[in-house]
């Protein structure tokens, strides 16, 4: 069985746990409970080890998140030497926020990443389909990498 390690990262209260639970069909969360285990930067190297992809989630309605995601990208994508194709940017819109999909002015290199808007109230299947496309590309990349590694051992 082929396994891929994909990290969900982003600012506090951006919707990481809600999206992860929705995409894995784990549970419905009705109230906000901060996910404590990974708030400490000292844990990040262990989390990043052997990761194949990174999903950066932010609340598009909080202006400071646009600046914060630059740091998340730097730490989890650039420092790990991941390709842009291994990163997915999700502008999550919380229930009742209106989900304005207006143009977000993202700084380079964020403006080169695939950006998906998420609104679980209005278009839940859209985010699921976008994530499945992203997941398929990651699995394909992992499979190709594994095949190259096996060929190098054989030859």
Confidence (pTM): 0.86
Least Cα distance to 16 among 75, 71, 83, 94 occurs for 94
Q: 67-120 pLDDT, tens per residue?
A: 899 999 999 999 999 999 999 999 998 877 665 666 678 888 999 999 999 988
Residue 40's pLDDT is 81
Q: What does residue 56 show for φ and ψ, rounded to 5 degrees?
A: -100, 120
Q: Is the pLDDT of residue 38 over 80?
A: no
Domain ranges of the chain: 6-22+38-153
Closest to 104 measured CA to CA, from 123, 126, 89: 89
Compute the chain's Rg from CA coordinates.
16
Q: Which CATH number fits domain 6-22+38-153: 3.40.50.300, 2.60.120.10, 3.30.70.20, 3.40.190.10?
A: 3.40.50.300
Q: Which of 20-29, 59-68, 121-130 shows the lowest mean pLDDT across its residues? A: 20-29
pLDDT tens-digit profile of 114-138?
Answer: 999 998 888 889 999 999 999 999 9
Element (H, E) at 114: strand 114-118
Please state, for a pLDDT cut of 70, what percent of the chain lies above it: 86
Name the pLDDT band for 51 (thresholds 50, 70, 90): very high
């Amino acid at each position: 069985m082929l396994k891929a390690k994909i990290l969900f990262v982003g600012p506090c209260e951006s919707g990481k746990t809600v999206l992860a639970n929705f995409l894995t069909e784990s549970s419905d969360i009705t109230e906000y409970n901060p996910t404590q285990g990974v708030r400490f930067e000292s844990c990040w190297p262990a989390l990043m080890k052997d990761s194949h992809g990174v999903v950066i989630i932010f609340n598009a309605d909080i202006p400071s998140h646009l600046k914060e995601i630059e740091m998340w990208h730097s730490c989890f994508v650039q420092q790990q030497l991941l390709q842009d194709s291994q990163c997915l940017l999700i502008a999550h819109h919380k229930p009742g926020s209106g989900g304005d999909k207006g143009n977000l002015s993202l700084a380079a290199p964020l403006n080169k990443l695939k950006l998906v808007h998420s609104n679980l109230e209005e278009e839940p299947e859209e985010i699921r389909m976008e994530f499945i496309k992203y997941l398929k590309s990651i699995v394909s990349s992992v499979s190709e990498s594994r095949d190259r590694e096996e060929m190098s051992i054989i030859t």
